[in-house]
Amino acid sequence: MIRSAAVLASAVAAGLAASPAMAQTRVEAGVLECRGGQTTSYIVGSTHTFQCVFNPVAGRRQAYQGVARRVGLDIGITERSVLVWSVLAPTRGLPPGALAGNYGGVSAGAAVGVGAGANVLVGGSNNSISLQPLSVEAQQGLNLAVGISGLELR
């Protein structure tokens, strides 16, 4: 089951990485790390809240509140989650609050004890920011998720 979710996540990420939206010239602007607590998910989807920190290549750290929503298969209990993305943007020098906005894409993941997942998200200011085509998600618990994801940063 974990292997199937990882294969699906890799295939989706590879497909989106080749899409025209991702073909725009972007540079790595920093790293966004989000941490969340215990959640319980149901078959039709889930909502998770996160405390996020953006560590830019240039400038000061920026704090964000994140709300992740997933529609699709998402069932289980997760003790805690950590999501880490490389932030790709038109420029390295992003002003404070530049990541605020809505992001959308697809995700897949599984956990039996310790698990992993993949999230492909694009959005932000004029859809000009992407959260690395394949993010790293670590979680503890028992969970299986595949679906359409959204992340709101404020």
Question: Two tokens at 82?
Answer: 């950590």
Say if pTM beats, i.e. exceeds, 0.75: no
- 35-76: per-residue pLDDT in tens? 988 776 665 667 889 999 999 998 999 999 999 887 877 677
* Greatest Cα pair distance in the chain: 42
> Does the pLDDT of residue 140 top 70, yes or no?
no
Dihedrals phi, psi of 80, to nearest 5 degrees? -160, 155
pLDDT value of position 132? 75
How many other C-beta atoms can be found within 10 angstroms of the C-beta atom of residue 17? Answer: 14
CB 100 within 8 A of CB 87: no
Structural domain count, the chain: 1
Token look-up 């920093």 returns: 30
33: in domain: yes
116: in domain: yes
95: in domain: yes
65: in domain: no
Considering the chain, what is the average pLDDT of its residues?
Answer: 74
Domain housing 140: 2-52+70-153
